[in-house]
Each structure stands twice: as structure tokens, then as C-alpha cells.
Structure 1
Amino acid sequence: MAQTSSNSSFVLNKPYEVSFEERPKPTVQTPHDVLIAVNYTGICGSDVHYWAEGGIGEFILKKPMVLGHESAGTIISVGESVKSLKVGDRVAMEPGYPCRHCTPCLSGHYNLCPEMHFAATPPFDGTLAGFYTLPEDFCYKLPESVSLQEGALVEPLAVAVHIVKQAEVKPGLSVVVMGAGPVGLLCCAVAKAYGASKVVSVDIQPSRLEFAAGFAATHTFTPARVSAEENAARLLKEVGIADGADVVIDASGAEPSIQTSIHVVRRGGVYVQGGMGKPDITFPIMALCTKEVTAKGSFRYGSGDYKLAVELVASGKVDVKKLITGTVKFEDAEQAFKDVKAGKGIKCLIAGPNEKL
């Protein structure tokens, strides 16, 4: 395996201002760390939001930051105590690691760790660089049947896995997913893999719904410019769910979708908020209460989610390759961000400066 020393990094300086910088090559810092040459990185909506707005909620860009967190790569160095991985292994990279000592970590919910070091979330640099260091147990070896490009999509798939687990989807349930972006589409795929009898994809873009129908959805629905109650009634009638859906997942973060969701879910059903939009919205609290809906949030991914995501890809139960619109060269990363913001394609990958070792 040829070695390279390039650590070219795609850096966000301020909204809409990026640069390519040759930064020092990182090294293994602890006996349990591995050094990875980043081969492919997907562009996430949060990356685009930082690029365009300079912040998301309480996470505000205060100094230049390397973008990117949906990555896969090849291990080029390992710490002396690393046992499960070796140089040359191809891995999906879980881009955040916790403190391991706080109450959420010790209770098995490390995704809620207040000290989480998460890539491309201020103040931490992301993975759109030549190299990245991670703890051994936050890297997942890819089976031979899984490509590095597919490995880069394990991150958004793990998000969907966590959402569907929060929803407690079981065989035979009806599931409605609001939003047919990458995470919404993957929620449909995971719900189907979990045995859902009906999987309804909802979006306002016909092209996204056409894709959803060929990907994992059993039904699709286009909302009209009417009230949330009217859209809910139309949806349930069109897809043949008389008493409401067992599970509704919002993967859009859009206020009208959230409002419609509460009217779509059945009495005693489960609603999960996976998409992030405005910090505060008008919410149909009366419908939530009178139907005794179980409402949950979902944040990133937790214990076992990444491992299950890799298994879903390796088994063929979720075909993430279909989501890849194209791959661009590292030097074309800025144009790729512009294209994603303009809504072109579904999932764009950026080949790392060390795409081929």
C-alpha cells in the first residue's frame, strides 16, 4: 500500500468562504487510536447549513473548521493496544466519540454525552481532509462485499437506524416517513428491513417520491396546500390506513410536516422527530395529548447503530449505492456543496485527497 503525506483539508472560514489548506498530518495519540486515510466523504445537510449559515443552534463557528463527517477510509497506522484492526483495513468512520464517563455514557446513551467530540461541529474539525484519527472502537471494518463508497453512507444509515429503533418498528406495522431526503429515504429502507407492512414516503418533490417508490417505499404521498388535518385525512385515505399510522417519523424538520404527522399517527401510536428545522414551531399539542401519542426525539446514533448499519448494507437489505448521485474530486468540493444546496441529486460523495493509496 503506497503511503502519502498529503493532509489537504477543506476548511470553512466563515459562511460561503472556504479554502484548501495543507495541515500537519495527525498522528496516533493514544494506544487505542488509529490513523485513517480518508477515501470518501458524503455531504450532509448539516455540513451545508454550516457552510451557508455558520452555525446550527448552539453550535456556532468561531474559528476556521474542517467540514465533513460522513466518511470511510483506510487505516494506515494503529496504536500499540489496538487489537481488532490493522493497517490496510477499510473502515466506516463513526465521526464522534464521547467522554465515556458521564451519566449518559454510562447508561448506554453516549450520543447524548455533553462532552462529545463530533466531527465538523464547532469547535471540532471534520473529516474532509487527508487523514483523521479515531479510537479503535469507533471504526467499523467493512466486509469485502462493501465498497468504500458504501462505507461513507454508513453514517446517514446509522442515523436512520437510530430513528427507527426509537420508533420501535416491528413486523406488520404501518410507518409514514415525512421527507424524502437521504435520511428519510433510509428510514423507509430500515423500516422495511424491520418488517413494516406499509412504508409511506411523503414529500413535495415528485422526483424524490419517484425515487422513494423504487427504493423502499410501498406508497408515496404529495401534500397539498391545505391544513395539516386535511392533508392527514387525504394521506390516510390514499394509502388505505383507516385508523392512523402505527408510527410516524418526521425526517424533514419542516413545520407543516410535523403538524401533519401528529394528525396522521393513530391513537396510542409513536411519533419520532428526526429532522431538525426551526428551533420553535406551532405544535398540535391537543392532538398529541388526546391520542396519547408517544413522542420521541432522535439524535445522531448510539450503541450498536453503526454496527447494524454495516450489517444492513453487507446483507443487501439496504442498498445505499442507489442513493449515490455521483462522486467529485476533492478539489471540486465547493461546487459539490453548491449543488447539494441547490437540491441536485440525492447523495454526493467527495473523493478524499487520498482516494487511492
Structure 2
Amino acid sequence: MSVKNLAVVIHRKNDMRLENRPIPEISSKEVLLRMDCVGICGSDISVLTKGRLGDYILKEPLITGHESSGVIIKVGSGVKNLVPGDRVAVEPGIPCRFCSLCKAGSYNICPDLYLCSIPPCNGNLTNYHKHAADFCHKLPPHVTMEEGALMEPLAVGVRACRRAGVTLGSQVLITGAGPVGLVTLLVAQAMGASNILITDLAENRLKTSKQLGAQNILVIDPNEKEENIVKKVREVMVPDITIDCCGYEATTRLAILATRSGGKVLVAGLASTDVKIPLVNALAREIDILGTFTYGVEDYPAALALIASGKIKNIKSLITHHFDIEEAPRAFETAQKGLNGAIKVMIHCQPRNSNNSTNF
């Protein structure tokens, strides 16, 4: 009798299917994982609803999912750092390891980066998944599988705050109180930001950001004039650093116009492919405009350390909904539409909490 390996597959725009796939064979430096938790990311929703994520276009069926944790059930002959039974967070981007960018530690911009669930690379929302052993991070006994899955968006927040230079006393504006905005808030606090303002269209998400420690929140009316929104932001604070966690034209423009002269704007969101920005304004005021993509060599370990040390204690509060893998279509609908105050929707490939250390 063959073992069931259910996978959540996007075939084309708005066409998601549950399929039984063969259990993958591993190479000498790979491990076979029995997946546990997989969170739904905005990029997964974009591929499903638009058939693309920016310039990454869906051309053939794709297993979705990349915010994940699992239990190792088999290791390749060359794997020395992991054994069957280890619980791990799965870092989904696998670089070539040999190019100059990889050797410099910038493997997130390796030209041959395999990035799970971003077309054309399959993700890991499936019962069984093979992965490079050196991109599996062993979880300490007190870290749960759900926290392990949240390591991926947290690493995005770590990368954003590091690249933007958040430090003791920073005045930080974060545009967008979705999952990436909220983890960026948590990391900015951990890095010493003294005052954080977070903006969003949805009041319920801003209430969550307030509960997580944001000193200030601002509900944005998309129909209001840009200059009025900038004025409202500056009445609360004039940010040293703005981290745009949306990537829409309106939020990137707001980031540039609201940030103090000589400050920094970092764009972490990937919502729009082409935007018009007030470049002369930025140049005349010497604002540094930075980009970021996923995470670099030290960011996943730093995310794990923040959770394992207790520096960030409340990340699981971002999870608002839980679904079994068989319920994936309903889970994606909940995440896409923000039903019932959805922030982070978690899909369980095994019974919830069955692989936390207290159960071993």
C-alpha cells in the first residue's frame, strides 16, 4: 500500500487542487521531512489569485507553501548535523553556494536561487518534502513547531531591520500591519527602536500592532490626499527610518515623503512591479532608498535566537486561524479575504501540536 503524500498544487490562476504526489527521493546532502506546519504567505496568495508574483510567472503546476517546519525522517549519507527525529524550521531559499554572491554571504540574491513556492520552484505544503540539510535549522526543545514555521516571516523582518539600520533610539515608521509588518515591528522593538508608528487600512490589524507594542498607529484612508496623509504621519513622528511592508505605489511614496531628510527608506513589500516615486524629493533630501529580498546568511539563525532566547515572546499571537491540509482551499480563502480578522493562517500537515517536544 503506497503512503499518502498529499500536496497543495496551484495549476493556474484561481485553480488550486489537492493531489497525491510520490514521496521524493533524497540525495546525499538532503533530508526527507514529514511536514508539520506551513503558514500562508501573501506571496502564495498572489500566485494563486494573479498567477504571478511580480516578475515570477506561473507557467506550470506548482506546489505552494514555504513558511514551514517539519520532522526529519530520513537523512542522506553525507548529512552529519541532523538525524531522524530532529524538529526543524525550513529555510526555503536554496542558493548555488559557489558564486561570488553566495561566498560573500549574500546568497539571497544568488542568480540560481531556488526559492520554494515562487514560480517555477515547488514549495513544501505537502505531507513529505525533501530539502537541503544545511537549510534546515534544528529547533530547541522549548520552541514549538508553529514558532518554527513563523521563523520564515520573522527572518524577513530581521533582514529588513538590519538592512535599514534600526538601532537604539530609532524612530521607525512601518507601512502595513500585515504579517510582515507585524514581525518587523517585533524585530524593530528587539533591536532598540524607541518609537514605532505603524499604518494600515484595516483597523483590526492596527489594534493587533498596538497589542504587540507599537507606540503609535494610524488608519489610512486611501481616498485622502497624499499630502494630508504625510502631514498626519509627521504630526505623530518624523521617522529616521521607514520600512514599507506593502510595496504599493502609495505606500512607497508615503515612505519617501514622510521620512526625515538624511533618513532611510527600505521597501520590503513586493506588491507592485512598477511604481512612480518622488525621486527628486528623495535625492534633494539625501534619503537612502533600499531594497531587500528574503534573508541573508545570518538572518534565519538570528530569528531563531530571538524566539529561543525569549527576546520575542508573543509571535504565536499572530496566528489567528488553523486548518488541516485537507482544508487548504478554505484556509487560502480565509487568508486572502481576511475573514474573521485573519492575520496569519496556519495549515497543519499533521495533527496540531503532535510534534512539540513535550509530546516526545
Decide whether the 8 Å contact of 1:8 with 1:353 is kept in 2.
no
Q: Does residue 1:303 correspond to 2:297, yes or no?
A: yes
Deviation at 1:245, TM superposition (A): 0.9
- Once the two structures are superposed, the pairs formed by residues 60-209 of structure 1 within 5 Å of their partners are 60-209=57-206
**Quick check: 171-180 or 83-92, which moved more?**
83-92
| Alignment equivalent of 2:37, drawn from 30, 36, 40 | 40
Partners of 2:350 and 2:114 lie apart in 1 by 23
Deviation at 1:28, TM superposition (A): 1.9
| Alignment equivalent of 1:231, drawn from 226, 229, 232 | 229
Partners of 1:287 and 1:316 lie apart in 2 by 41
Q: Secondary structure of the equivalent of 1:132? A: strand
Q: Does residue 1:10 correspond to 2:5, yes or no?
A: no
Deviations 1:298-330 (CA, angstroms, capped at 9, x unpaired): 101111111111111112222211100121011
Partners of 1:40 and 1:347 lie apart in 2 by 12
Q: What value does the CA root-mean-square deviation take over the aligned residues?
A: 1.5
**Quick check: 333-342 or 80-89, which moved more?**
80-89
Deviation at 1:354, TM superposition (A): 7.4
Deviation at 1:17, TM superposition (A): 1.4
Equivalent residue, structure 2, for 1:258? 252
| Alignment equivalent of 1:294, drawn from 285, 288, 296 | 288
Q: Secondary structure of the equivalent of 2:261? A: strand
Deviation at 1:87, TM superposition (A): 0.9
Percent of aligned positions that are identical = 38
Equivalent residue, structure 2, for 1:316? 310
Partners of 1:216 and 1:134 lie apart in 2 by 36
Q: Secondary structure of the equivalent of 1:252? A: coil
Q: Secondary structure of the equivalent of 1:268? A: coil
Q: Secondary structure of the equivalent of 1:258? A: helix
Deviations 1:161-200 (CA, angstroms, capped at 9, x unpaired): 1111110111011011000000001111100000000011
Runs of 4+ off more than 6 Å: none
Equivalent residue, structure 2, for 1:330? 325
Decide whether the 8 Å contact of 1:7 with 1:353 is kept in 2.
no
Equivalent residue, structure 2, for 1:343? 338
Decide whether the 8 Å contact of 1:180 with 1:212 is kept in 2.
yes
Equivalent residue, structure 2, for 1:277? 271
Decide whether the 8 Å contact of 2:63 with 2:122 is kept in 1.
yes
Q: Secondary structure of the equivalent of 1:296? A: strand
Query: Aligned letter for 1:17?
Result: D
Deviation at 1:80, TM superposition (A): 2.0
Deviation at 1:213, TM superposition (A): 0.3
Decide whether the 8 Å contact of 1:130 with 1:354 is kept in 2.
no
Query: Aligned letter for 1:277?
Result: A
Q: Which runs of 5+ in 2 are unaligned?
A: 356-360
Decide whether the 8 Å contact of 1:37 with 1:354 is kept in 2.
no
Decide whether the 8 Å contact of 2:54 with 2:272 is kept in 1.
no
Query: Aligned letter for 2:13?
Result: P
Q: Secondary structure of the equivalent of 1:200? A: strand
State the TM-score, normalizing by the size of structure 1: 0.94
Q: Which runs of 5+ in 1 are unaligned?
A: none
Query: Aligned letter for 1:5?
Result: V
Partners of 2:133 and 2:272 lie apart in 1 by 36
Deviations 1:270-319 (CA, angstroms, capped at 9, x unpaired): 11000112211220112101110111001011111111111111122222
Decide whether the 8 Å contact of 1:185 with 1:216 is kept in 2.
no
Decide whether the 8 Å contact of 1:111 with 1:299 is kept in 2.
yes
State the TM-score, normalizing by the size of structure 2: 0.93
Partners of 1:104 and 1:115 lie apart in 2 by 11
Equivalent residue, structure 2, for 1:267? 261
Deviations 1:19-58 (CA, angstroms, capped at 9, x unpaired): 211111112212x211111001000001011111111232
Decide whether the 8 Å contact of 1:228 with 1:263 is kept in 2.
no
* Count of residue correspondences: 349
Deviation at 1:108, TM superposition (A): 1.4
